[in-house]
Amino acid sequence: MILCCGEALIDMIPVLDGSDGTAFSARPGGSVFNTAIGLGRLGITSGFLSGISTDLFGQQLMRALTESGVDSSPVILSDRPSTLAFVELDNGQARYTFYDENTAGRMLNPNDLPPVPETITALYFGGISLISEPCADFYAALIAREHVKKTIVVDCNIRENFIGVSTTYLPRLMKIIAHADVVKVSDDDLNWIYPDNDSLTDKALRLRAAGPTIVILTLGQDGATAFFGDDQTVSIPAPKVQVVDTIGAGDTFNSGLLANLAQQSVLAKSALRQITGCQIANALEYAVKVAAITVSRKGANPPWAHEIPQLAKLPLTIS
């Protein structure tokens, strides 16, 4: 089982209200939550660990997990409020304003760490849950405790406006990266971590030297590149689709990547160290095509397994 560990929140999606104003539709979301939903819909045995409120929004989140086949038993429930993220769309590109003070997810702390069953083979982390304190310390402590035996996958997914003037975020993130087996970064993430004039390739190699077995660099419409093995790289272009919006695109990429690695039986630590170019190319190809389905429709709405035949219709050439 893959355990997704991180934030669950409500995306407030703008919709026209018919009077030249804007209303908001409440949709289950959150970076790590979306990846868990994506895994469940792809038929991968997965669970979700986070702090979730017992309020009406929290109940909506719990229903969504159940409906997508995700094990919600690891969730830590509380009567604190739910995190809300108001979304602004600019030509389909999403920007977020978060309301996260004193919430069920944010207020987790290292004293709340639960046991992790032997059935969990990989733990996935990312999103704003690695920024907000004290929950960031909760997830960092979980990684530090479990990384020796369990595969750790991290999506940096840096939200610069959310980090603010924090002096603790980057040092904590680098410690997390040192414990990780697979790290995914966007070009923006990488340039934030290393704000110098080196090329993206050089920065990705520096990040890999910090500890991960595999670094995956995503480049939006230009696809993704994996850095692995003995200075090997594999690049996959993104399919060309009509983009409705980008909400949940990276999260769905992660679910496709994890799903395919699990299906190929290469998600264990030892297997990742021996992964071949063909295996990682297959995983990247699957990930970009799964993400392409999500961006072709409104909101964070990952595809179900029965929709996967659509992937074959998306043209792709491996470079």
Pairing of strands 76-78, 84-90: unpaired
Phi, psi of 306 (to 5 degrees): -70, -15
**Confidence at residue 92, expressed as pLDDT on a 0 to 100 scale:** 63
**Confidence at residue 312, expressed as pLDDT on a 0 to 100 scale:** 54
CA–CA distance, 262 with 90 (Å, rounded to integer): 35
DSSP helix/strand/coil, 182: strand
Listed as ranges, residues in the chain with pLDDT below 50 are 316-319
Q: Which of 301, 284, 303 is nearest to 218 (CA)?
A: 284
Stated as kind and residue range, the H or E segment containing 287 is helix 277-295
**Confidence at residue 253, expressed as pLDDT on a 0 to 100 scale:** 94
**Confidence at residue 318, expressed as pLDDT on a 0 to 100 scale:** 36
Q: Which of 187, 10, 216 is nearest to 124 (CA)?
A: 216
Domains of the chain: 2-313 (3.40.1190.20)
Sheet of 46-49: strands edge to edge?
A: 46-49, 2-5, 122-126, 151-155, 182-186, 214-218, 224-228, 232-236
CA–CA distance, 39 with 303 (Å, rounded to integer): 10
**Confidence at residue 316, expressed as pLDDT on a 0 to 100 scale:** 45
**Confidence at residue 164, expressed as pLDDT on a 0 to 100 scale:** 80
